[in-house]
Homo-oligomer: A and B are copies of this chain.
């Protein structure tokens, strides 16, 4: 199972598969076919079988995939058969909203720290979290061995804060800043930039 040869585009579909499987579990399914899964996701059954086949054989000919064992497999593949601790840097409105968003905890991501550099904010509570001094962050990350970070600072300090996070041991950054972060080898970045996504859609809105 050499990861290098599994296309990232296949990886990128796995979380969606898992999400739909969770939904179908709630609906009471015990077995699911690639056809059923594909209908809900607008993905061809062949695509789904091909994606799974990169990781092993999870189904039974003539039957389909046992739902719970498939979910287990996907959770192992995505490494979410555990709780991930997460730090969040940037306690603005967006950062605080995300820090208190229960959707992360429900899916196994525990935001354990929220930081800012503004003396007016440090020490204040936001939900269950207390905003801490960002200078404390590297020590915490090292001590707690945290690998995941969420970045919601201003554009001006984005790269600099990211550099500090990476130096402390953060290996994956969810980047809300809109800045194209420069990172090196083992660090992963996913960008969330709503303006970019609006621009993508306005293309398709006719001039009238």
Spell out A's residues near B (CB within 8 Å): 3, 11-12, 14-16, 18-20, 40-41, 77-80, 84, 86, 92-94, 96-98, 100-101, 103-104, 107, 109, 147-148, 150, 171-172, 174, 178, 180, 188, 190, 192, 194-205, 207
Contact = CB atoms under 8 A, between A and B. Distances in A.
B104 A11 contact: no
A201 B190 CA distance: 8
Contacts of A150: 194
Contacts of A94: 94, 97-98, 101
B97 A202 contact: no
Q: How many copies does the complex hold?
A: 2
Given A148-B198, A192-B197, A79 B15 contact: no
Nearest to A173: B201
A190 to B, nearest CB: 4
Given A79-B203, A190-B201, A192-B192, A103 B172 contact: no
Given A98-B94, A101-B93, A78 B199 contact: yes
Given A97-B94, A195-B104, A11 B79 contact: no
Contacts of A201: 148, 172, 174, 188, 190
* Chain B CB within 10 A, most for which of A101, A180, A197: A197
Contact of A16 (B11, B77, B196, B198): B196
A202 B101 CA distance: 19
A15 B194 contact: no
Count chain B CB atoms within 10 A of each CB in A96, A97, A147 and give the residue with the most: A97
A195 to B, nearest CB: 5
B200 A12 contact: yes
Contacts of A100: 93
B197 A190 contact: yes
B199 A80 contact: yes
